[in-house]
Amino acid sequence: MNTQTPAEKTAFVILLMISGCHLLNDMMQTLLSAIYPLLQANYGLSFAQIGMITLTFQGTASVLQPMVGFYTDRQPQPYSLAAGMCLTLIGLVLFSQAGSYPVLLMAAALVGTGSSVFHPESSRVARMASGGRPGLAQALFQVGGNAGSAIGPLLAALIVLRHGQTSVAWFSAAALLGIYLLIQVGRWSEKYGMKRLKSRANTTATRSVLPRRTVVLALAVLLALIFSKFFYMASMSNYYIFYLIDTFHISVQSAQLHLFVFFGAVAVGTIAGGPIGDRYGRRMVIWASILGVLPFTLALPYANLFWTGVLSVPIGVILASAFPAIVVYAQELLPDRVGTVAGMAFGFAFGLGGIGAAVLGALADTTSLTFVYRLCAFLPAIGLLAIFLPQLEAEARRRMPRAAKPL
């Protein structure tokens, strides 16, 4: 109760601030993808060109995030979060004023760079503020992003489609609010960060629980599971609107409301996955969430409009519950590389999302969106690889007593 009490009293405040900033950050990002139909009409873009915008944004974030995490593990930068949000602000304003396709790509790269700073560092801060409940902390952090992703299409339907591309600049206020909040988070991190980082000494035994080869195999399996999740998510976040319009001939606004429902389900799944992993084990959550979504994805391409909307809910909930568990599980594999692991997980996820958007967009141009969804329906079957993940809790309990014996 002594030295850590002040930090623990502010832990949930910090988690809520990080989650709120994640909401603002991802709201601005998803807002951009939600207005793809508007950009397609304004610039005459093909699906492949739309995919390239996503690839530029997510590819930039993918490459830089592991580097940022690796650097901040060794040289913590408490105020880098606010600096990253400044880059997002610049990209947002540039996006609203873009007069050509290359400028759109430049703006997307700036937004991606801002995300590359935000995600690994804020994930590291969330773990510092977790109070011994990393799954809950990671879920609270991630659910902010999911909520922002759900709000983005709704705001696009209500504001941007009515007032045009230049109205994207109105959301600069959200970026300014995020900058202010992240400065406060930076002050907390600067004051309590080193104290929290010293707790690594208490978890170094976890690093010796598993041999190096087992850790490498587990990380490879986690990357494969991230691939299945985010390639499928790329099909939903980038082309679900177009699929609904082309297949069921509904309006853009109606399609965006369907996307809002899907992202809302993703938010619910994210907040559930972390605490369930803390209570019942992250391996179980990973196994159930990745593979458990398969029946619903297989049914989606053959459903009518009503059942498409219904099926999107369990798909979002079940699939999203995996990622908080995956990130924390990976951090427990490498407890002294928390930022690096977070950067690798988020970076790989962003990269796959961008590659998926480009590949699936090109595939949709040559075939059809229905074919794309029928193909992507089998991606969750990769979840079978989760059988190769070791049970960290069991290994820790089996080896800890022997490791704890006095010399």
* Helix (H), strand (E) at residue 61: helix 47-74
Using a 10 angstrom Cβ sphere, with 0-12 exposed, 13-18 middle and 19 or more buried, the burial of residue 374 is: middle
Contact 163, 38 (CB under 8 A): no
Which H or E element spans position 398? helix 392-403
Do 287 and 275 touch, CB atoms closer than 8 A? no
Q: Which amino acid is at 125?
A: V
Look at 11-15, 62-66, 292-296 and tell me which has the smallest mean pLDDT: 62-66
Band of pLDDT at residue 301, cut at 50, 70 and 90: very high
What is the pLDDT at residue 393?
59
The pLDDT, as a whole number, for residue 200 is 45
| Host domain of residue 341 | 5-403
pTM: 0.69
CATH number of the domain bearing residue 326: 1.20.1250.20
Q: H-type helices in 158-281, by residue range? A: 161-163, 172-197, 204-207, 212-248, 252-280
Quote the Cα angle for 345-88-79, to 5°: 75
Confidence check: pLDDT of 169 > 60: yes
Domain count, the chain: 1
The first and second tokens of residue 263, run together, are: 């992202």
Asked if 400 and 328 count as a contact pair (C-beta separation under 8 A), the reply is no
Q: Which residues contact 80 (CB under 8 A, 6 or more apart)?
A: 68, 72, 117, 121, 186
The string of pLDDT tens digits covering residues 363-398 is 998 999 999 999 999 999 988 888 888 877 555 545
Nearest to 61 by CA among 18, 114, 101, 25: 114
Q: What pLDDT is recorded for position 115?
A: 82
Binning pLDDT at 50, 70 and 90, where does residue 263 land? confident
Contact 337, 73 (CB under 8 A): yes
